Structure 1
Amino acid sequence: MKIDRILEIIIYLLNHDNVTASYLARRFEVSVRTIQRDMICISNIGIPVYALSGKNGGYSIMKNYKIKNMNIFNNEQQLIINALESLATSYSSDALNSLIEKYNTIIEKEGGQKIFWDFSITKENYKVQNLNTILEEAIDNRNYVSFDYKNAQGERSKQYIEPLAIHYKWYAWYLFSYSKNQNKYKTFKIARINNLSIEKEISITKHEDVKILMKTSEQEYYDTCISVEVEFSNDEYELIEEYFPDCPIEKISVNLYRVIIRVPAKERLWKALLLSFGNRVKVISPESYKIELIETAQKFLSNYDI
């Protein structure tokens, strides 16, 4: 998991100087771009990481940065993990606010500088925060919940499930759950949940490790993704690399490149992202995805007198 890797990187940097991104990539079996993004995450939570270029360069943590020994209770340790994992998005908790203040007091910087945390730009609305609170209660007590749901295709349904975990990914909160009626594990985007209610029924179902179940479910989801071939010019190279950092880019000619991206077939976000490039990128295949993009663009233009 990303949170485990970030915590290990922090510990490793606290004990080593000038660690290269390539070494960390090999150590944690990820790409160099992933390590670079991890370093941004570590900096965003207030740990002063800096990079030195050159033959003997690498990543380091400022030498005057220290964390003193202070007693941190188990529930606070869990909040630390939540804060790092979600980068303090919509998780609203007085205990978390207290913990952030505590960390401000135990982290010393030269000149008495304080560390300020401001994640408001990534916070979800109060609806999601309130739903998270209700779902946490249901998970703790093993209650079933019911709610109305509208998926990405606009299809509405009534759900009666056992909530197992809430987790943050793709810049949003999701609910991982078990449907007794369908005998399957399901994931729901919390922002699409309405009329959430905790039911009296208590679950007696025994589940395997939830982390393993979530990983398996996520892999099944990724297996449904499709490969989209996109061509673009040299002018868009850096932007394509930024948006699709783990996708290898192939040079076709002097000023033409190609990238293969894996995207969920029915997720509109990726279609919107590709359309945002305008005529600067061209979808080559699959043909069905290309046709969907054309139809989406035509429907958008039909709202205007062009």
Structure 2
Amino acid sequence: MRIDRMLSIVVILLNRDRVSAKELALKFEVNTRTIYRDIDAINMAGIPVVSYQGNNGGFGLVANYRLDAQYISVNDMKTIITTLKSINSTLHDISIETLIAKIENLIPLNGGYQSVPETAIIDILPWGVQEKVKNYIKDINNAITKSTLIEIEYASLRSEESVRIIEPMTLILKGTAWYIFAFCRLKSDYRLFKLSRIRTISITDTHFSRKVMSYYDFSSQYESTQPSMVTLLLQFHESQKNMMEEYCNENDIMTIKDGFYTVNVSLPDDYWVLSWLLSMGDTVEVLQPLHIRDKLCESAKNILKKYQT
């Protein structure tokens, strides 16, 4: 929309001494004549835009023309900008970029912004995140913004692969993993897809009408259908203490003898629990319940058999 583009141009001019018509045209994907018409309209609205000629020419605002910040401190602005920049380092969203520029405009020229320390930084990408996931996040965010269908090749936790056409609705960062909440046309229902399990992705040109279900509504229903919980009594070596503290209260861990501890921890009674326990090898022993011990024994026998053949 023209009004949105004009507002964005004003924000850019408030934060730049000079910007060329060509640069603005490229940024907003219009021709330079459209930019000149926008500048004329901005001038008519009472915002003083000056035109500069020559090799370093372009547009700029009259000196000292700035908006006034009345309600938030420089510290507040620093926190907001740092957070938004962290988010946008992954999403690359032009609307967030514009919002950052708007907030930066509210900072007084001599307000001491540069001297305000960064007391907290939010890095929303976990260590060692796959490059493909970074690209997926950007592409999916664009598809969500434009309401366009996505075709994915997806592998389930049990490596069952399928091709899905999905209506992307929301990107979610949960723990250290990224997910896409979407309506799946194959299943005719809402689903949560883990980005690391998407084998390939294709953004189509087909638009869809966004449905009313929110991620929070879906999440509350999803939790009610999750596997039942099982309480494990574990004995583990001190080398796994930090790992255990990720899944239980530190006060629940009891020392039993030199270098060994016990803990009761409740986890979903599914395939993941077995994988998690096996990943710690002989540093962890399941004391209770017996059915989990039996499953681990069977898995261990199968592993031994595989390596002995």
2:283 is aligned with 1:283: no
> Shift of the alpha carbon at 1:286?
4.5
Q: Deviations over 1:194-242 (max 9, x none)?
A: 231223432224314x242343255235x32431412316857844642
> Among 136, 140, 144, which residue is 1:131 paired with?
136
Distance 2:307 2:153 in 1: 34
Give the corresponding residue for 1:150: 155
2:207 is aligned with 1:199: no
Distance 2:82 2:121 in 1: 20
Give the corresponding residue for 1:36: none
RMSD: 4.4
Q: Deviations over 1:71-96 (max 9, x none)?
A: 999xx68735837xxxx7xx264989
Bigger-Rg structure (1/2): 2
Do the aligned partners of 1:161 and 1:179 also contact (CA within 8 Å) in 2?
yes
Q: Secondary structure in 1 aligned to 2:307?
A: coil
> Shift of the alpha carbon at 1:117?
8.6
- 1:55-134 matches, within 5 Å, as 67-68=74-75, 70=77, 79=84, 82=87, 91=90, 93=92, 106=114, 108-109=116-117, 122-134=127-139
Give the corresponding residue for 1:300: 303
Code of the aligned partner of 2:143? A
Q: Secondary structure in 2 aligned to 1:224?
A: coil
Do the aligned partners of 2:233 and 2:264 also contact (CA within 8 Å) in 1?
yes
Q: Deviations over 1:102-144 (max 9, x none)?
A: 8x964635xxx99999888714122111111111111111112
Aligned residues between the structures: 224
> Shift of the alpha carbon at 1:164?
0.9
Distance 1:142 1:78 in 2: 26
Give the corresponding residue for 1:215: 219
**Cα 1:200–1:304 shift into 2, 3 Å:** same
> Shift of the alpha carbon at 1:244?
1.7
TM-score, structure 1 normalization: 0.56
Distance 1:118 1:252 in 2: 35
**Cα 1:291–1:248 shift into 2, 3 Å:** farther
Give the corresponding residue for 2:49: none
Distance 1:237 1:154 in 2: 28
TM-score, structure 2 normalization: 0.56
Do the aligned partners of 1:165 and 1:176 also contact (CA within 8 Å) in 2?
yes
Distance 1:130 1:242 in 2: 33
Code of the aligned partner of 2:168? P
Distance 1:283 1:231 in 2: 5
> Shift of the alpha carbon at 1:169?
1.9
Q: Secondary structure in 1 aligned to 2:211?
A: coil
Distance 1:248 1:204 in 2: 50
> Shift of the alpha carbon at 1:193?
0.9
**Cα 1:203–1:108 shift into 2, 3 Å:** same
Structure 1, 123-132 or 284-293: larger mean CA deviation: 284-293
Code of the aligned partner of 2:299? T
> Shift of the alpha carbon at 1:304?
3.4
Q: Secondary structure in 2 aligned to 1:68?
A: helix
Give the corresponding residue for 1:167: 172
Code of the aligned partner of 1:274? L
**Cα 1:106–1:70 shift into 2, 3 Å:** farther
Distance 1:77 1:239 in 2: 30
Code of the aligned partner of 1:132? I
